[in-house]
């Protein structure tokens, strides 16, 4: 059995087994609840969220985020920032988008607007649409 907790988690999930890492055991399989995405990491979800949002929200490099967190007593490597950014930024973006849409629906005259435009790329005209 591998000693790396991440390897154990991924191996167990692949076989639909029981996972116990950073919390209670969670059974993973078809039609069963999936555990938190933070279960294989030793850091708290609040720290991971802070690191990812600092890197995404502000124009900072990976090493700048590492230095800022070190000044606040959190010692992580810049590669950890990159790993967390790659893994957790899409779900965080989905959550932010979902919250933004739910807040906008509270307004009485809320609706989507479709914008369209022609873009010329390498001499070819392309028709683009997007919601605004």
Q: Which two tokens stand for residue 117?
A: 């435009």
User: d(Cα 132, Cα 112) in Å, to the nearest integer?
Assistant: 6
pLDDT digits (tens, 9 = 90+) for 13-42: 334 444 444 445 444 455 566 677 788 888
Domain boundaries, the chain: 1-42, 44-132
Higher pLDDT, 10 or 48: 48
8 Å CB contact between 113 and 132: yes
- Average pLDDT score, the chain: 74
pLDDT digits (tens, 9 = 90+) for 49-61: 999 999 988 999 9
Model pLDDT, residue 99: 86
Model pLDDT, residue 17: 42
């Amino acid at each position: 059995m591998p000693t790396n907790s991440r390897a154990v988690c991924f191996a167990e999930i692949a076989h639909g087994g029981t996972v116990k890492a950073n919390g209670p055991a969670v059974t993973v399989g078809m039609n069963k609840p999936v555990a938190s995405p933070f279960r294989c990491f030793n850091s708290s979800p609040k720290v991971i969220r802070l690191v990812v949002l600092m890197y995404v929200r502000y124009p900072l490099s990976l090493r700048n985020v590492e230095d800022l967190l070190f000044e606040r007593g959190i010692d992580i490597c810049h590669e950890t920032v990159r790993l967390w950014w790659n893994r957790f930024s899409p779900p965080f973006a989905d959550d932010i988008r979902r919250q933004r849409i739910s807040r906008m629906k509270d307004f009485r005259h809320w609706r989507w607007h479709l914008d369209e435009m022609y873009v010329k790329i390498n001499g070819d005209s392309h028709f683009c649409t997007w919601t605004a």
